[in-house]
Amino acid sequence: MLPRAWSEGQIVVRTVEVAQTPALHAAVTECVDIVALDPTFAEVPESEVGELVEQSVAEEAQERGFRMRSIHVGSAEELAGYFHLMEDVPTAGDAWLSILAIRPRFRRSGVGTTLIKSLKRVLAAEGFRFALARVYLANIPALQFWTRLGFTEIVPHRGDYIGQDLGKPCIVLRASLGE
Ligand SMILES: CC(C)(COP(=O)(O)OP(=O)(O)OC[C@H]1O[C@@H](n2cnc3c(N)ncnc32)[C@H](O)[C@@H]1OP(=O)(O)O)[C@@H](O)C(=O)NCCC(=O)NCCS
C-alpha cells in the first residue's frame, strides 16, 4: 500500500482530500498546454476530477487500489502537481503511474525527478517489483524525463509495443524497482 504521505528534499507528497478538488482541477486544467503532445490533458469538468479524488479516498483502506497523491513544494506547501497510481496493474507487483502532472510554473526545477526517485524507493519498500508509465510518442519531454529516471524497458501495451490510446500512438515504459 502506498504511504499516505512522505517528504523528500523540496517536496511533500500527500494523499488527496475531497476539499482539494477545485485546486486539483485548476492544476490539471493548466496542463492543457501540452494537449497536442498528450491527449490525456484535454480539459475535463471538475466533477471528473472529483470522482477520481473520491475513488482514491474510498480505496485508501484497501491493501491494493487506486491512489491519487498531491505534490507540494516550499514552506507554504504550494500545490505543484499530482499523480495517479494503480497498484497491481497490469499484474501483481506492478505500480502503474497513469497520470503525472506538474503545473507549468513548477516544471523543469527538479520536482518531477525528486518525486519519481523517492516514489521508486517507496514502492520498492512496499514490495512492488516494477513501476510503469504510458507515454505518448509525441511527448518527447516526457520520454526524456522517464528514460533518465530508469524507465528504459519498453513493454507491450494491450499486445502491441506501440499502442493507441485516445487515437494517438503511445508506449509503456517500465522501471525495475530491484537492485
Ligand atoms: C514531464 C514532467 C512530469 C517532468 O516534470 P518536471 O518537474 O518538469 O521534471 P524535472 O525538472 O525533474 O526534469 C527532469 C528532466 O526531464 C526532462 N525534461 C523535463 N521537461 C522537459 C522539457 N520540457 N523538454 C525537454 N526535456 C524535459 C529533462 O531531461 C529534464 O532534465 P534537465 O532539466 O536537467 O534537462 C512535467 O514536465 C509535466 O508535468 N509535463 C506535463 C504533463 C506530462 O507530460 N506528464 C507526463 C505524462 S507521461
| Ranges of residues in the chain whose predicted pLDDT is under 70 | 179
pLDDT of residue 155: 96
Q: How far is the CA of 111 from the centre of ligand 1 (A)?
A: 9
Give the pLDDT confidence of 152-168 residue by residue, as tens digits. 999 998 889 999 999 99
By three-state DSSP, how is residue 1 classified?
coil
Q: Please state whether 148 falls in left (phi above 0), alpha (psi between -120 and 50) or beta.
A: alpha
Q: How far is the CA of 107 from the centre of ligand 1 (A)?
A: 6
Q: Which domains does the chain have, with CATH numbers?
A: 5-176 (3.40.630.30)
pLDDT of residue 178: 83
Give the pLDDT confidence of 14-30 residue by residue, as tens digits. 999 999 999 999 999 99
pLDDT of residue 179: 64
User: 45 CB contacts (<8 Å, ≥6 apart)?
Assistant: none
Q: Which atom of ligand 1 is nearest to the CA of 148?
A: 29
Alpha carbon nearest to ligand 1 atom 36, residue: 102
Tell me how far apart the alpha carbons of residues 29 and 32 are, in angstroms, rounded to a whole number. Answer: 6
Number of other residues whose CB lies within 10 A of the CB of residue 122: 17
pLDDT of residue 158: 86
